[in-house]
Chain A
Amino acid sequence: MTTETTPLPTPGEDFMAEGEPRQDLAVEQVSDATRPDQWWQVVWSSKKARVGIGIVAVYVVVAVFAPLIAPHDPLDSSFVPLAGPSSTNWLGTTTSGQDIASQLIYGARISLLVGLFAGLIATVIATVIGMISGYAEGTILDDLLSFVTNVALVIPALPLIITLVAYSEVRGIWLIVGVISITSWAGAARAKRAQIITLRNRDFVTAAKFSGEGTWRIVFREIMPNMTSLVAASFVGAATGAIAAEAGLAALGLGDSQSVSWGTMLYQSNAQGAIAQGLWLWVFVPGLVLAILMTAMTFINFGVDLLSNPHLREDA
């Protein structure tokens, strides 16, 4: 609390005299204590989120420094096929003589890239469509955007993805990113539409109109900063979903055959009958790292939840 004290009147002085009001007492005081925590402090305050952030950080380090960490080239098939774990091949080799550990390490790159970009693109689409249609609630624009959102919601995503991927010429990673993002934004867009409907009638929005702000600025500069927690939560959710979707597609054999991902590892192991041959590590390890990554991201979302619901902070 910052308080500037005015000189105190001494008892002898006639400070009780009626008449002249003491205007000098009107010292403005501002409190520092009410400043709420920064968003990262709030997220970090949750133990689950800390664990999640820690795990994801490990994955990111592994992905970034894959060439330094991985003992071999993931596509190098010069090893003895079907070898067990050893000091050269930490997790053994595949039927075609590739090092499983190196594949696993390089696979983190694809998963995280897809998660990041598909998550980002889906969030951007969801935010733009959701915000505009919510802000324009009740107009033809809203009807149109809501219609598009509803269509995107009811179209079964997996068959659509499979069809899109199956008919495309090149199956690069960017195709996968694109397909995943355009099929996964609809739910998040509806959530944002609902949120902005509650925010757009606040006085500060009317106040912004009286400051001469244009619609775009009101929606994205005035209202959106008040929805950061929702946007962040939907990004983490979309990224988690995208990682799972990429792994699923690749496991079905619809992935990018040129690159190594956990999904393609699963596809290969399945195609080569790994389980029948007792190659448990080849199947088990990619599935495990995927499961851990997705659990970690869900943990992060527990922390993000605290942003939008302060009541949860007490139980964290």
Chain B
Amino acid sequence: MTLLDVRDLSVRYEPKASRPLDAVQEVSFAIEPGEFVGLIGESGSGKTTLGTALLRLLQRPGRISGGSITFDGTDITALHEDDLRSLRWRDVSTVFQSSMNSLNPVVRVEAQFRDAIEHHSSLRGEAVTRRVRELFDMVIIDPKFMTAFPHELSGGMRQRVNLALALALDPKFILLDEPTTGLDVVVQHSILENVRRLQSEQGFAVLFISHDIGTVLDLSDRILVMYAGRIVEDQSAGALLREPLHPYTKGLLGSYGDPRAETVKITYVPGRPPDLSLDIVGCSFAPRCPERIDLCLEKTPPLEPLNGGRAACHVAALQRRDGGAERFGEPKRGFVGPQFVKTGDESRSALTNEVVLSVEHVSKVFERRRGFTVTRTEAVSDVSFELRRGEVTALVGQSGSGKSTLAKMITGVESPSQGRIVFHGPQGDKLVSGFKGRALRDYRSDVQMVFQDPYSSINPAKRLGYVLSRPLANYQGLRGEQLRERVLELLERVALTPADRFVNRYGYELSGGQRQRVIIAKALAVQPDIIVADEPISSLDVSIRAEVLELLSDLVKESDVGILYITHDLLSARMLSDEVIVLNGGKVVEHGPTLDVIRDPQDDYTRTLLEAIPNPF
């Protein structure tokens, strides 16, 4: 019997102040007992709303506006809260997106388990403790942490605890809503392995929501692809990888590449998802679709059975009909969109360029004084490397590996405890060490930074024109018409065209990729010699990451700026960088040309990082 049956489910948000929108539109799917189903889509596609609706946790102004949800034979679409309560957690449980705050900070972990267990089962006292210990064993956490408070656990441990909590009552169905977002690749990898193992042992069904098609393909039996509130494709993982039906799926698959290849191509889906509060005529993906035909702009494609799965695409359906291949072309596997290519040759020539910054045997020790004892932490120890003009050096490592400390020293905010950093600028060599005031301000015309989170690095109260004009006014003294021209030029430079349409916008009106381009434009404004890019794509949707990588790569080729690319993700390091430095615990464990390091890693730690990259190919 089907465990979860969703029919024509629609969710509508009706905020008082703005137009109503249908975040989920006529979604139908079923999950069998013990099935592992992945749900992917970019941010804003409605996947979290769908998940929340399945748990009946929607809050005003959202509500289920149509369709039905049947769980294990019971229609829960309109079930009363009191009846839901007995169902929740015992049969249906979840691990939420924000691992950091879904545990009660003032209650010990064991007590939180006890709450859930005692409410739904007859276990009491010592028996509950035994069960919690068992659960801790399942998710591989030392049971001594049972009596800990949530803040005493690391992010990865907290998310394991959440997983254990979800499993506490042997539910039939678990909803995992991006359970590993914000965690390190290595931790992420081990948690997801854990999930998969437990799922096959205990046979619960999972709906796994993620924006990362790589991990979804790795884990799931079947995959639902969601775009603009609708399911556009539903196929088994293998079939989806072999023959994706919907162009959007092709776009998502195209955003992955094999880092080991000599030449890597990744595509991206340009543009942004449609505004769901406006009427959409035809297929909602049509404006971004390279395969669209006239019909796509007129009629919304229904989700129809196709090739053993389901897809909502006119072109895919027409091509697979009798004689369709002749009229509409053979079905294609790839996304015929903009593409970012990186060949091995480019890197080799870049490694001979002129050195612009050298890091020589640098160490950084932090001292923390507590009463009479001083704790010394060595965040960075004896690191040496060089940054060259027109070259990208990637600094790869987990959080806590010393990446950020190194970035702070290179940007002149902190000074090294030992060793030295020398900047070979146009005005001769300059020793970089913890600048203050005027000196720091001057140094920033040589070294600029691109931030991790494009959503918080543009002032929400300022227009883009203002944001971009400030460095120009401060460092080049531009005013008036000249200033405006230069701002427009910068916008054009990062391909935000026509520029005058963007200059009066606010940051929040742009997509993540566009915002990150504004940040890059701002960094370019002072014509720096070095740009430090701190995980510039990690908070972007997979489908648009290549957009930013391509821009950075073009910059390096066109101007002779050197980029220090800080990341935990070896795939993006491969795409962008010519040289890789792998940091572990503040030490350089591997250093060399990117391709060599990735193809033939010498250090165990590099191998662990490489294994953590989901590789569905």
CB distance from A12 to the nearest CB of B (A): 9
| With contact pairs A11-B327, A11-B328 given, residues A211 and B471 touching in the complex (Cβ less than 8 Å) | yes
Whether A208 and B287, one on each chain, are in contact in the complex, defined by CB atoms closer than 8 angstroms, is: no
Which B residues touch A207, using CB under 8 A?
A: 449, 451, 457-459, 467, 519, 522
A284 CB within 8 Å of chain B:
no
Asked if A28 contacts B332 (CB within 8 A), the reply is: no
Contact sample, A vs B, 18 pairs, CB 8 Å cutoff: A1-B275, A9-B293, A15-B291, A15-B329, A21-B267, A21-B339, A22-B337, A28-B501, A31-B509, A32-B509, A35-B506, A203-B453, A204-B457, A206-B451, A209-B444, A212-B444, A226-B461, A313-B16
The answer to whether the Cβ of B460 comes within 8 Å of any Cβ in the partner chain is yes
A225–B339 Cα distance when bound, in Å, is 40
Give chain B interface residues in 297-328, CB to chain A under 8 Å. 297, 327-328
What is the 8 Å Cβ interface bit string for chain A, positions 184-211, against chain B (1 contact, 0 not)? 0000000000000000001110111111
Evaluate whether A314 and B60 lie within 8 angstroms (CB atoms) in the complex, with A8-B292, A25-B290 already known.
yes
**Chain B residues whose C-beta falls within 8 Å of the C-beta of A18 in the assembled complex:** 332, 334, 336
Assembled-state Cα–Cα distance A316/B60 (Å): 13
The smallest C-beta distance from B245 to any residue of chain A, in angstroms, reads 14
Given A203-B452, A212-B471, A30-B329 contact (CB < 8 Å)? no
| Contact status A212-B17, CB under 8 Å | no
| Closest CB in chain B relative to A231 CB, distance in Å | 12
Q: Is B105 part of the contact surface with A, judged by Cβ < 8 Å?
A: no
CA distance A280 to B253 in the complex (A): 82
Contacts of A211 in B (CB 8 A): 467, 470-471, 474, 522, 525
Given contacts A21-B336, A30-B509, contact A222 B290 (CB under 8 A): no
A226 touches B460 (CB 8 A): yes
Contact of A25 (CB < 8 Å), options: B288, B449, B497, B523: B288
Q: What is the CA–CA distance of A52 and B407 in the complex, to the nearest angstrom?
A: 52
Taking CB atoms and an 8 Å cut-off, the chain A residues in 4-45 that contact chain B are: 5, 8-9, 11, 14-16, 18, 21-23, 25-37, 41-42, 45
Chain A neighbourhood of B15, CB < 8 A: 313-314
Q: When the two chains form their complex, are residues B509 and A210 in contact, meaning their CB atoms are under 8 A apart? A: no
Roughly how many angstroms separate A222 CA and B462 CA in the complex, as a whole number? 8
* Chain B residues whose CB sits within 8 angstroms of the CB of A137 once the complex forms: none
* Binary contact readout A299-316 vs B (1 if CB under 8 angstroms, 0 otherwise): 000000000000001101
Q: Is the CB of B17 within 8 A of A37?
A: yes
**Is B496 on the interface with A (CB-CB < 8 A)?**
yes
- Shortest Cβ gap from A307 to chain B (Å): 12
- Residues in chain B near residue A23, CB distance under 8 A: 338
Most B-side CB within 10 Å, residue of A15, A202, A210, A212: A210
Bound-state CA distance A33–B278 (Å) is 9
Interface 0/1 of B268-293, CB less than 8 Å to A: 00111011011000000001101111
User: A316 to B461, Cβ gap below 8 A?
Assistant: no
Q: A14-B329, A209-B444, A226-B459 given. 9 additional CB < 8 A pairs?
A: A8-B297, A33-B18, A34-B509, A207-B519, A212-B445, A212-B470, A212-B526, A228-B461, A314-B15
Q: Which of B293, B297, B456 contacts A202 (CB 8 A)?
A: B456
Q: How far is the CA of A87 from the CA of B291 in the complex (A)?
A: 84
Q: Does residue A3 face the partner (Cβ distance < 8 Å to B)?
A: yes
CA distance A285 to B275 in the complex (A): 55
Q: B267 contacts which chain A residues (CB < 8 A)? A: 21
* Alpha-carbon distance between A204 and B462 when the two chains are bound, in angstroms: 10
Residues of B within 8 A of A (CB): 15-19, 60-61, 267, 270-272, 274-275, 277-278, 287-288, 290-294, 297, 327-330, 332, 334, 336-339, 441, 444-445, 448-449, 451-453, 456-462, 467, 470-471, 474-475, 495-497, 501-502, 505-506, 508-510, 514, 519, 522-523, 525-526
**Would you call B272 and A29 a contact (CB within 8 A)?**
yes
Check if B338 sits within 8 Å of A22, measured CB to CB: yes
Task: Evaluate contact between A30 and B505: CB separation under 8 angstroms.
Answer: yes
Tell me the bound Cα distance from A11 to B314 in angstroms: 13
Q: How far is the CA of A163 from the CA of B459 in the complex (A)?
A: 46
Alpha-carbon distance between A211 and B332 when the two chains are bound, in angstroms: 46
- State the CA gap A9–B277 with chains docked (Å): 29
| Residue among A18, A207, A314 with the highest chain B CB neighbour number at 10 A | A207
Q: Is B471 touching A316 in the complex (CB atoms < 8 A)?
A: no
Q: Which residue of B lies closest to A22 (CB)?
A: B290
B274 and A225 contact, CB distance less than 8 A: no
Main secondary structure of the interface of B (DSSP, over half): loop
Once the chains bind, are B470 and A3 in contact (CB under 8 Å)?
A: no
**Contact: A313 with B17, CB < 8 Å?**
yes
Contacts of B287 in A (CB 8 A): 3, 5, 27, 29
Residues of chain B within 8 A (CB-CB) of A8 are 292-294, 297
A1-B514 Cα distance, complex, nearest whole Å = 16
Measured CB to CB, the nearest residue on chain A to B459 is: A204
Across-interface contacts of A28 in B (CB, < 8 A): 271, 495-497, 501-502, 514
CB within 8 Å of B: which A201-249 residues: 202-204, 206-213, 222, 225-226, 228
Report chain B residues within 8 Å CB of A26. 270-271, 338, 495
Task: Please give, as numbers and ranges, the residues of chain B lying within 8 Å of A35 by CB-CB distance.
Answer: 506, 509
In the complex, chain B residues whose CB is within 8 Å of the CB of A15: 290-291, 329, 336
Contacts of A209 in B (CB 8 A): 444
Least CB distance, B476 to chain A, in whole angstroms: 10
Nearest residue (CB) in A for B331 is A16
Which residues of B sit under 8 angstroms from A228, Cβ to Cβ? 461
Query: Which B residues touch A222, using CB under 8 A?
Result: 459, 461-462
Q: What is the distance, in angstroms, from B608's C-beta to the closest C-beta of chain A?
A: 30
Measured between C-beta atoms, what is the minimum distance from B585 to chain A in Å?
A: 26
Q: Give chain A residues whose Cβ lies under 8 Å from the Cβ of B332.
A: 16, 18
**Could you say which residues of chain B place their CB within 8 Å of the CB of A29?**
271-272, 287
Q: Which of B330, B462, B467, B470 contacts A225 (CB 8 A)?
A: B462
In the complex, what's the smallest C-beta–C-beta distance from A15 to chain B, in angstroms? 7
B460 / chain A contacts, CB cutoff of 8 Å: 204, 226
Contact between chains at B502 and A30 (CB < 8 Å): yes
Shortest CB distance A159–B (Å): 40
A204 and B458 within 8 A (CB):
yes
Closest to B496 in A: A28
Cβ contact within 8 Å between B522 and A45: no
Which residues of A sit under 8 angstroms from B294, Cβ to Cβ? 8
Which B residues are CB-close (under 8 A) to A9?
A: 293
Q: For residue B289, which residue of chain A has the nearest CB?
A: A25
- Name the one of B329, B449, B456 contacting A16, with C-beta atoms under 8 angstroms: B329
User: Which 6 interchain pairs have the tightest Cβ spacing?
Assistant: A212-B474, A203-B457, A225-B461, A16-B329, A26-B270, A211-B471
Residue numbers in B under 8 Å from A208 (CB-CB): 459, 470
Question: Of residues 242 to 279 in A, which have CB atoms within 8 Å of B's CB atoms?
Answer: none
The smallest beta-carbon distance between B549 and chain A, in angstroms, is 14
Q: Is the CB of B448 within 8 A of A210?
A: yes
CB distance from B44 to the nearest CB of A (A): 10
Does the CB pair A16–B291 fall under 8 Å? yes
Given A22-B338, A29-B272, A207-B457, A42 contacting B17 (CB threshold 8 A): yes
Q: How far is A149 from B275 in the complex, measured between Cα atoms in Å?
A: 47
Q: Once bound together, how far apart are the Cα atoms of A209 and B332, in whole Å?
A: 48
- A196 → chain B closest CB, angstroms: 14
Does B510 lie within 8 Å of A30, measured CB to CB? Answer: yes
Given A37-B17, A313-B17, the answer on whether A212 and B272 have CB atoms closer than 8 Å is: no
A30 lies within 8 A of B501 (CB): yes
Q: Which residues of B are found within 8 Å of A34, using beta-carbon distances?
A: 275, 508-509
| Complex-state Cα separation, A1 to B286, whole angstroms | 14
Closest chain A residue to B60 by CB distance? A314
CA distance A202 to B17 in the complex (A): 28
| Cα separation A16 to B335 with both chains bound (whole Å) | 10
Docked complex Cα distance between A29 and B544 (Å): 14
Cα-based distance from A301 to B178 in the complex (angstroms): 39
Q: How far is the CA of A212 from the CA of B271 in the complex (A)?
A: 32
Chain A residues contacting B61 (CB-CB under 8 Å) are: 314
Residues of B with C-beta under 8 A to A1: 274-275, 278
CB distance from A312 to the nearest CB of B (A): 11
The residue that A212 contacts in the complex, of B19, B336, B441, B456, with Cβ under 8 A, is B441
Q: Is the CB of B16 within 8 A of A316?
A: yes
